[in-house]
Copies of this chain bind each other. A is one copy, B any other.
């Protein structure tokens, strides 16, 4: 995907190549505490440059698909996942991102629900990592993940994006755990509850989560629509 058989002079003349990558977030229980934590899938590079290192899923842009379609396809092909949320993150085009070739990467970020994430393909060259323990990645992918995390935290604090990391029905405590995992700080249950109950996009249901160890919490559902990206504006 990033490789080329052209020689140096031909590369100088050729336009920068265009690639699509995606940062995919999902919640998984921590091995230690069991509390939900942010994870993301990476693929191992099987060619130079950075052969053997882990990298974001990505690939070239096919001629017949839009940017968002390319990101969605890429996500499906590498991990078998269908995202519940997909948004463009940034176009990275620094001159020395790849040592062998000038590459401009248009990066998307996605959220997948835990039921989906459980079905994700895992193989020798595809593995999930905790978002806060990635190690050194190929290219500038560490900086890209950092920026994606920054965006996720922003969207979480401001917008209504947490529900795309959960199933259709959820308890308020589950939403709170998402916030606590992403923002990395504890939130007061009563105050958090008050805020969510004042947002019209959160709908109370008549069902309760059974089987817990304590008082059964009420189940809620999210009735809002995603934001207003240029890609998604046609549907409004």
Contacts and interface: CB of A to CB of B under 8 A. Distances in A.
A150 to B, nearest CB: 8
Contacts of A208: none
Given A102-B63, A104-B67, A147-B230, A15 B12 contact: no
A192 B143 CA distance: 37
A91 B92 CA distance: 10
Given A17-B15, A67-B91, A88-B91, A233 B61 contact: no
Contacts of A12: 63
A100 interface: no
A53 to B, nearest CB: 20
Contacts of A94: 66-67
Work out how many copies of this chain go into the complex: 2
Interface of A: 12-18, 60-61, 63-67, 88, 90-95, 102, 104, 106, 143-144, 147, 150, 228-230, 233
Contacts of A60: 15
A226 to B, nearest CB: 15
Contact of A66 (B61, B66, B90, B93): B93
A-B complex: 5 closest residue pairs judged by Cβ atoms? A67-B93, A91-B91, A91-B106, A147-B230, A66-B94
A216 B88 CA distance: 47
Given A14-B63, A90-B229, 14 more contacts: A13-B63, A15-B17, A15-B18, A15-B61, A16-B61, A61-B93, A64-B95, A65-B95, A66-B95, A67-B91, A88-B91, A93-B106, A106-B106, A150-B228
